[in-house]
């Protein structure tokens, strides 16, 4: 498979400024060095608890925010040269035609749209940035987009507040696909929606991916949603990827104890299902001062001295299944027992 994006040791630290002199006293290590390949046409799920850096990852990849260090390499579809977009200026990105190729849809459709703009203008905005179209052509294109996401021409001249949450999310999706992107970051696109509407949006996203050949980075904290929609899953903890594998492998034999705890913590909508629970103690430590060694060691039931001292690397265990844990080979046996 061909890569579309390649992240190399990508970091994002938000400075914490305090005191009269406005000096930087510390930093929030929201994203602390991740390596990740994203392939064309896949849906890569990204899960983890709130505050682990999922949204930051999405924003840094598409350059809504600048990374502190590291590289994001974009591989164009036809055999053009790969470009490092982490250090490109915004204008250069636009000129190279990369800006429109990378889009993002946010969790809360209510806040990601200007409430005083008509739907027509909300969707026209990104198109206008890219090409000059006559008003007739523009309207036709917008109508086409609305129909693609399950709305109709009659919705053109309305304001966002006149729509339900699910419909607003459809509009946000229409805006994201307006400029023929290749890659879309979907940041918790269904978390604010009801289950019946969530199913509508998930099915819509699947359909669009197939029809338009899109690549998704699907961010969520809901593991069953990830299982439904993605081919591959990356698990994040405190700004790091701790495990990544095909969806089937993650769910059938997780290697990292954190993944295991996440999976066993899912409330499963099935009264017959009784899983063996692994309940973690304590809370996620602060990203201001992440623990030394393995970041998960403060909550890990399998912790040893080595874990407290040395940080484990994300290493391949089987083809495509990577985990960052010193004891990954032993733990698997203990968990199965």
Partner 1 sequence: MAKLLETIDLVTNFHTYEGIVNALNKVSLFADHGVTFGLVGESGCGKSVFVRSVMRIVQEPGMIEGGKVILFPDKKETKTAVNLLDQSEAYMESLRGDLISMIFQEPNAALNPIMSIGEQVAESFLFHRKQEMCRKIAEELDSSECRTIPLLRHFQKSVYQIAEKNPDAFVLKLLSRIPVLKRWEKRLIQEAMDRSAEIIGKLGIPNPEDILRSYPHNLSGGMKQRIVIAIALACSPILLIADEATSNLDVTIQAQILEMLRQLKHTEISSILFITHDLGVVAEICDRVGVMYAGNLCEVADVRDIFRSPRHPYTYALLSSVPRLFQEGELQSIEGSVPNLISPPSGCRFHPRCPRAGDICREKLPELEEVGNNHYVACWKI
Ligand X SMILES: Nc1ncnc2c1ncn2[C@@H]1O[C@H](COP(=O)(O)OP(=O)(O)O)[C@@H](O)[C@H]1O
Give the DSSP per-residue string, 292-308.
SSSTTTTT-TT--HHHH
> Is 54 an interacting residue with respect to ligand X (CB under 6 A)?
yes
β-strand pairing of 315-318 with 321-323? antiparallel
Token readout for 114 is 């200007």
Each residue 38-67 as x (binds partner 1 by CB under 8 A) or -, in order, gives: -----------xx-----------------
Q: Which of 136, 272, 333, 336 is in the footprint of partner 1 by CB under 8 A?
A: 272
Residue 85: which residues within 8 A CB-CB, separation 6 or more?
Answer: 63, 72, 73, 74, 93, 98
Query: To 5 degrees, how large is the angle CA 277–CA 247–CA 184?
Result: 120
Q: Which of 41, 51, 76, 265 is in the footprint of ligand X by CB under 6 A?
A: 51
Please choose, from the candidates 217, 212, 175, 180, the residue with its C-alpha nearest in 3D space to the C-alpha of residue 5.
Answer: 217
Q: Which of 28, 178, 284, 314 is in the footprint of ligand X by CB under 6 A?
A: 28
Pick the piece of the chain touching ligand X (CB under 6 A) from 46-54, 82-90, 98-106, 193-201.
Answer: 46-54
Each residue 247-286 as x (binds ligand X by CB under 6 A) or -, in order, gives: ----------------------------------------
> Is 55 an interacting residue with respect to Mg ion (CB under 5 A)?
yes
| 216, 209 Cβ separation under 8 angstroms | yes
Distance of CA 214 to the CA centre of its chain: 14
> Is 50 an interacting residue with respect to ligand X (CB under 6 A)?
yes
Least distance between partner 1 and beta carbon 108 (Å): 14
Q: Which of 53, 100, 109, 189 is in the footprint of ligand X by CB under 6 A?
A: 53
The item of Mg ion, partner 1, ligand X, none sharing an interface with residue 142, based on CB under 5 to 8 Å by kind, is none
> Is 290 an interacting residue with respect to ligand X (CB under 6 A)?
no
Cα–Cα distance measured from residue 105 to residue 16, given in angstroms and rounded to the nearest whole number = 28
Distance of CA 167 to the CA centre of its chain: 21
Q: Which residues bind ligand X (CB under 6 A)?
A: 14, 28, 30, 48, 50-56, 287
């Amino acid at each position: 498979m061909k890569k579309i994006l390649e992240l190399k040791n990508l970091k994002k630290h938000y400075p914490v400024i305090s005191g009269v002199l406005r000096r930087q006293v510390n930093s929030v290590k929201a994203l602390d060095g991740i390596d990740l390949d994203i392939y064309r046409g896949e849906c890569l799920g990204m899960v983890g608890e709130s505050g682990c850096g999922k949204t930051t990852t999405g924003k840094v990849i598409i350059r809504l925010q600048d990374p502190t260090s590291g590289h994001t390499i974009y591989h164009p579809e036809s055999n053009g040269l790969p470009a490092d977009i982490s250090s490109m200026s915004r204008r250069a990105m636009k000129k190279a035609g990369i800006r429109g190729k990378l889009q993002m849809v946010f969790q809360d459709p209510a806040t990601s749209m200007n409430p005083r703009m008509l739907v027509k203008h909300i969707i026209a905005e990104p198109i206008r940035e890219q090409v000059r179209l006559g008003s007739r052509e523009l309207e036709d294109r917008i109508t086409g987009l609305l129909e693609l996401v399950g709305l109709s021409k009659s919705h053109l001249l309305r304001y966002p507040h006149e729509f339900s949450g699910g419909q607003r999310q459809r509009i946000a999706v229409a805006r994201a696909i307006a400029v023929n992107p290749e890659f879309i970051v979907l940041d918790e696109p269904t978390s604010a929606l009801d289950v019946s509407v969530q199913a509508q949006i998930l099915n819509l996203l699947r359909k669009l991916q197939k029809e338009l050949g899109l690549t998704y980075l699907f961010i969520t904290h809901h593991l069953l949603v990830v299982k439904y929609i993605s081919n591959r899953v990356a698990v994040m903890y405190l700004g790091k990827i701790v495990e990544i594998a095909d969806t089937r492998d993650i769910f059938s034999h997780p290697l990292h104890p954190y993944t295991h705890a996440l999976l066993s913590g899912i409330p499963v909508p099935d009264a017959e299902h009784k899983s063996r629970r692994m309940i973690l103690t304590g809370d996620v430590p602060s990203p201001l001062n992440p623990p030394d060694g393995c970041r998960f060691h403060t909550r890990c039931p399998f912790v040893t001295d080595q874990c407290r001292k040395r940080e484990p690397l994300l290493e391949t265990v089987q083809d495509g299944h990577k985990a960052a844990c010193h004891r990954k080979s032993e733990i698997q046996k203990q968990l199965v027992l």
